[in-house]
Amino acid sequence: MAEIIRILAFTGSLRQGSYNKAALRAAQKLAPEGVAVEIIDLAGLPFFNEDLEAEGVPAVVEEFKARIIAADALLICTPEYNFSIPPVLKNALDWASRGEVTPVSGKPAAIMSASTGMLGGSRVQYHLRQVCTSLNLLVINRPEVFIAHAHTKFDEEGNLTDDRTAQSITRLLTALADWTRKQK
């Protein structure tokens, strides 16, 4: 049997009822055979500060970087804030870009976004791709998953209720797993 692909998943939304968190939980359930999705919370990461870094990288940041190193691939599901990347997510990526060992460099990744707007976060995805280039994350280009009008795609418990979105997420996970196996 092929080796399991371990995907580390996170979002830039801290909101309890977040559609992006809900989309990650859906991805966890939809993961194809041989793929395991682990979701982590970015809430505990302090704001990046070079002074803090010089004093000694906080344990919570070291733990975050270790989780990235241990993962075969990353899945980022992000809201769009004012056409761009939420600060929580950018902050996490900034921490991950630092140090002698930059855990993100060369790591396969996939992006999706959920938004209450009609574009589903398309603008944030292209900003995020630009940042991922700086980090040398190897982000797959297709399929693109934009969850538009997210408030209509999940029930009150945050369960995904839209079949087309479920199919898109499944396709994305399959493509990410294939891409990750090619990189190994």
Q: Counting contacts by CB under 6 A, is residue 168 touching ligand FMN?
A: no
By CB under 6 A, how many residues form the interface with ligand FMN? Answer: 17
* Residues 108-167 contacting ligand FMN, CB under 6 A: 114-117, 119, 121, 150
Q: Quick check: bond before 79 cis, omega within 30? A: no
Q: How far is the CB of 152 from ligand FMN (least distance, A)?
A: 12
Enumerate the β-bridge partners of residue 97.
Answer: none
* Residues 74-113 contacting ligand FMN, CB under 6 A: 79-83
Per-residue x/- mask for ligand FMN, residues 8 to 47, rule CB under 6 A?
-----x-x--xxx---------------------------
Would you say 125 or 180 has its CB closer to ligand FMN?
125
The residues of the shown chain that bind ligand FMN, judged by CB under 6 A, are 13, 15, 18-20, 79-83, 114-117, 119, 121, 150
